[in-house]
Amino acid sequence: MTQPTEDLHRTELGESGTRIVFLHGLFGQGRNWTTLGKALADQHRVLLLDLPHHGRSPRSDRFDYLEMAEQVAGALGEEPATVVGHSMGGKVAMVLALRRPDLVERLVVADMSPVAYPTARDFTVYTAAMQGLDLDALERREDADAAFAEAVPDPTIRGFLLQNLRRDGDRWYWQLNLDVLARDLAEIGSWPADRLADVSPYDGPVLWIAGERSDYVRDDYEPAMERWFPRHRKVTVKGAGHWVHSERPEVFLEVLRRFLGD
Longest Cα–Cα distance of the chain, Å, equals: 53
Tell me if residue 242 is catalytic.
yes
Residues 6+ apart with CB under 8 A from 82: 18, 19, 20, 21, 104, 105, 106, 107, 108, 260
Phi, then psi, of 103 in degrees rounded to 5: -95, -10
Residue 244 Cα distances to 97, 101, 181, 203, 213, angstroms: 22, 26, 23, 25, 9
* Pairwise CA distance, residues 84 & 206, whole Å: 10
Q: For CA atoms 98, 100, 105, 110, give the dihedral sign.
A: negative
Choose the catalytic residue: 64, 145, 179, 184. 179
Q: Is 59 left (phi over 0), alpha (psi -120 to 50) or beta?
A: beta
The CB density around residue 130, as the number of other CB atoms within 10 Å, is 24
Choose the catalytic residue: 86, 242, 245, 246. 242
Choose the catalytic residue: 9, 24, 44, 87. 87
* Pairwise CA distance, residues 249 & 262, whole Å: 17
Between the two ends of the chain, the Cα-to-Cα distance in Å is 24
* Pairwise CA distance, residues 73 & 33, whole Å: 19
* Pairwise CA distance, residues 242 & 108, whole Å: 15
Q: So which residues are the catalytic ones?
A: 87, 179, 242
